[in-house]
Structure 1
Amino acid sequence: MKRILCLLLIILVCAAFATPAHADGAVTLKIDDTNVYDGMDKSYQDGYVPRVSNGYATLVLPLIATGDISGNVITATPNLGDASSSPFVFKNYQKTIALNDNAVGGGGTVSSYLVRFDFELKSGRVNGVYPVTTDISAQTADGESVQRSFTSYVTITDGKNPNAPDKTPAPAHQPKIIISGYTIDPDPVVAGGEFTATVTLKNTSDKKAVYNAFVTVSCDSPNFELKNESSIIPLGKIAKDGTVDIEISYKTDLETPAQRYNITLMMEYDNSDAATLSSQGTVQVEVTQPLNVQMDKPRIPESVNAGDTMSLSFQVMNMGRSKVYNARIEISAPGLLPTKTAFIGDIEAGTAAQGKMDIFVGMKSMTEGYKGEDKYGPTSGKITLIYEDEEGRPYTQEMDIFTMINEPVIGQVSAKPEEKPDKESQWWISLLIGGAAIAAITVILVSRGKRKQNEDI
């Protein structure tokens, strides 16, 4: 029993004097708080505070290792806090520091890891005290990790007063680029064709230039194919009140519906303070479908007699993709006097329509403006088809016509059989009757022709 008690006592004594594995043998890093290094006004034990001047905050952190560090280098990474409220300009400040013999105040050197950061400060920084945590990482000669963090406090006094009342600044004048004009060639654009838009861009400011300007081009139709090398067009600098011209080329396909389309120009540029500004403008392009209208040539007799009236029939076919409007037919030839224009009206795409025209055949001299001396004989002229697109622009097609106008055909005046020889002396009476009939017909033709012309007017 005594042996057991003695054994337990020995075990308790040994346990009481055992040393934890990390106590005295662990390698760590600590601040050299007794010396003053370059960039410091006083030592840490005397109340060192990071220096702030000329738009920079300088943080000095002298570290001494309690043991061997692998490669005699450590890595220091500062944590500057929340970017939205921090007075520091955020960038990569991480650095590797080697062990050196660093000069200290009063002369002499100290073997230490001298960590120094020069933090750039924001122009709009706010006064206050801001913590900066420096994370240190290293490895011992045995490959064990060494991690330490040190917090310093940077005091900002040359910034904005956080308690000052907010002042609403007056909006500063800013330059702006606008579309001051443009031309489209050709205009309108026929579906399936190409066009070029020449656009004039203007800097409306008479005080400030713009810099690094460029334009991004887009269109609201999938039927437009951009022919420029890129949809982004660089402009560079535009002087105050200055202008610059750009050219934008597109190709349309045959399926492009007839309507107006928008080409959007998004302008981006910098002002003199390097602030990025933007503006937007629109160029309108009108596209029409190619009109394809065909007319069957009417059948006109090779010869007609003065005094006759002939009726012509027309068929007009719309072979295109767009509706045509106010289709009508006119005829012009000496001696052929239409009673009126053959009005057909609107013709939908892919359909046909018919029209008729009555033509009075008179003497060629009855046509206004005719300068010939002959009244009858060959005559030629044109049939004109007229129609309009949806914008009211007129289009015409012409066909040549030819016919022969003969003298009017007058019925023969037959004399009664002579019963007595003494009536042969009255032959001249028949001649007078025939002459009177011819004169009457001529008067009727002239009168009817003038009446038809008056009706057309």
Structure 2
Amino acid sequence: MDNESSVNNSSGDDFSDHNFNSTDNREPGSDSSSGSDSQSPDSDNSSSDLDGFFSGDDTSSSSKDKTIHVIIENGNSSNDLNGNGSAIIDPGADNGTISGDGYTDGGSGGYTGGSSGSSSSGEVILHKPQLLLEDSNLSGQSLKAGTTQEMSVVFRNKSRSQNVFGLKISLSTETKGIEFAKNSFYVQRLTPGEAITLKSLMTIAEDTAPGQVTVTFSLEYEDSKATAATGTETLTFNISQQLRAELEASDIPSIVYTMDTIEVPVKAMNLGRDKLYNAKVRLEATGLSPSGTVFLGNIEAGTAAEGSMKIYVKGKTNETAATLSPGQISGRFILTYEDSSGNSYETASDFLTELKESQIQSLKVEEDQTETNSWWYSILAVGALFLICIILLLLVSLRRKNVLLEEARKAASQ
């Protein structure tokens, strides 16, 4: 525990023997010679409690009160004062001369303080030591739900002169599904500038909501004067869910013919707890040419998105004769999607189909029928001509009979 000692500026001891000097602490308008008179030290101060302030009162009525308070850290009670009652400065503190104006001069950690107190006395202001979260292995990281991670954090005492005692660090978070193996830590003492590393396993449940997580570290400790102090530090990182997606594209025909165009429906299902971004489906197959990539967009958790893909079955050409030979061909539909951080994922659905050459059978059938049925047309034509001849003969015979009958009637009437 830090001890404080006060030394009367009117003492006859030379302060330079104790690594600090005293200057006159004058009141505005006071005589410059009033602070230079030597006074005898107060012998009663040597038995005072070292945990408090030591003061030497000026017994002379003409002298002004010029008490200087000196902070002593980590000093033993038996060594706080030397043989003549002078204060001893702790080596852990910032060294410098102490002036009667109430501030330390020459030390990098000096503090001003004369303006807040009485103008007739100077006191070194002891500021509360600060503990800061300096580093962590999880800061800004993206962690997967359903995993266990080791959390490591580094705290440092930023004070250059004060120790920290009885440090208790408590962990808490408002995010459900996150549990720590250790919820609190205790450190007996941290010296000025000292750092300490704390580690704890952190379990993230599978149903933890995705997004940013804030872990709060509540600090409770005491300074060198046993004054209680508190502080709060935070650590942030992101939680992402395991993405699960499935692709359905099973309606491709078992047989496809060259130069045909087929249409295949595709469906992407989000089976996870997080959103899928920029989902799209593409085709990879030899001899099959898709019209393009099917874009399905964003897919919410527990939902599905559907689309269709037009596929042209390539014909057999000189360049592709080797790859488009009739037979079985294999291919795959590939679903590509992203998470909220822009990381890309893929899942595929394989298929197998048979490729056959297209045949124009209707034209060949018509040509065969024309060649095989031509003699039947000749027979029909001859038969029709024969019937026509018979009909003509009958008509001529009937006409002749009618003429003879007409002549017979005329002869009978005469």
Shorter-chain-normalised TM-score: which range? 0.5 to 0.7
From the superposition, tell whether residues 364 and 185 of structure 1 become closer, same or farther in structure 2 (CA, over 3 Å): farther
The one of 349, 354, 360 equivalent to 2:312 is 360
In structure 1, C-alpha distance between the alignment counterparts of 2:310 and 2:356, rounded to whole Å: 18
**1:123 counterpart = 2:56:** no
Question: 2:68 touches 2:122 (CA, 8 Å); kept in 1?
Answer: no
**1:374 counterpart = 2:374:** no
Query: For structure 1, which runs of at least 5 residues remain unmatched after alignment?
Result: 1-50, 57-88, 90-119, 128-156, 421-457
Q: In structure 2, what residue type is equivalent to 1:218? A: S
Give the TM-score taking structure 1 as reference length.
0.50
Question: 2:262 touches 2:311 (CA, 8 Å); kept in 1?
Answer: yes
State the Cα distance separating 1:263 from its structure 2 match.
Answer: 0.5
State the Cα distance separating 1:208 from its structure 2 match.
Answer: 5.9
SS of the residue 1:321 aligns to: coil
From the superposition, tell whether residues 168 and 221 of structure 1 become closer, same or farther in structure 2 (CA, over 3 Å): farther
From the superposition, tell whether residues 166 and 356 of structure 1 become closer, same or farther in structure 2 (CA, over 3 Å): farther
**1:178 counterpart = 2:114:** no
In structure 2, C-alpha distance between the alignment counterparts of 1:218 and 1:365, rounded to whole Å: 70
In structure 2, C-alpha distance between the alignment counterparts of 1:397 and 1:405, rounded to whole Å: 25
The one of 337, 341, 349 equivalent to 2:293 is 341
In structure 1, C-alpha distance between the alignment counterparts of 2:262 and 2:318, rounded to whole Å: 17
State the Cα distance separating 1:182 from its structure 2 match.
Answer: 1.5
Give the match for residue 189 of structure 1.
Answer: 143
Question: 1:365 touches 1:374 (CA, 8 Å); kept in 2?
Answer: no
In structure 2, C-alpha distance between the alignment counterparts of 1:158 and 1:173, rounded to whole Å: 23
Query: For structure 2, which runs of at least 5 residues remain unmatched after alignment?
Result: 1-42, 58-64, 70-116, 376-414
In structure 2, C-alpha distance between the alignment counterparts of 1:364 and 1:329, rounded to whole Å: 27
Q: In structure 1, what residue type is equivalent to 2:330? A: S
The one of 310, 332, 344 equivalent to 1:394 is 344
Q: Report the identity percentage.
A: 23
Q: In structure 2, what residue type is equivalent to 1:397? A: T
Give the TM-score taking structure 2 as reference length.
0.54
The one of 238, 241, 245 equivalent to 1:293 is 245
State the Cα distance separating 1:122 from its structure 2 match.
Answer: 4.3
**1:54 counterpart = 2:29:** no
Higher RCO structure (Cα 8 Å, ≥6 apart): 2
Give the match for residue 109 of structure 2.
Answer: none
Q: 5 Å matches for 1:29-48?
A: none
Q: Report the more deviating stretch, 192-201 or 328-337.
A: 192-201
What is the CA deviation profile of residues 297-331 of structure 1, one whole-angstrom value per residue up to 9, with x for unaligned ones? Answer: 42222221121111111222323333322221111
What is the CA deviation profile of residues 91-119 of structure 1, one whole-angstrom value per residue up to 9, with x for unaligned ones? Answer: xxxxxxxxxxxxxxxxxxxxxxxxxxxxx
Q: 5 Å matches for 1:305-324?
A: 305-324=257-276
From the superposition, tell whether residues 123 and 196 of structure 1 become closer, same or farther in structure 2 (CA, over 3 Å): same
In structure 1, C-alpha distance between the alignment counterparts of 2:219 and 2:238, rounded to whole Å: 23
What is the CA deviation profile of residues 256-299 of structure 1, one whole-angstrom value per residue up to 9, with x for unaligned ones? Answer: 32211111123344555655554432111312233333333422
Question: 2:284 touches 2:331 (CA, 8 Å); kept in 1?
Answer: yes
Question: 1:335 touches 1:366 (CA, 8 Å); kept in 2?
Answer: no
In structure 2, C-alpha distance between the alignment counterparts of 1:210 and 1:175, rounded to whole Å: 7
Q: In structure 2, what residue type is equivalent to 1:295? A: L
Q: 5 Å matches for 1:197-236?
A: 197-205=151-159, 210-228=164-182, 231-236=183-188
The one of 401, 405, 418 equivalent to 2:355 is 405
Question: 2:164 touches 2:189 (CA, 8 Å); kept in 1?
Answer: yes
In structure 2, C-alpha distance between the alignment counterparts of 1:366 and 1:246, rounded to whole Å: 71
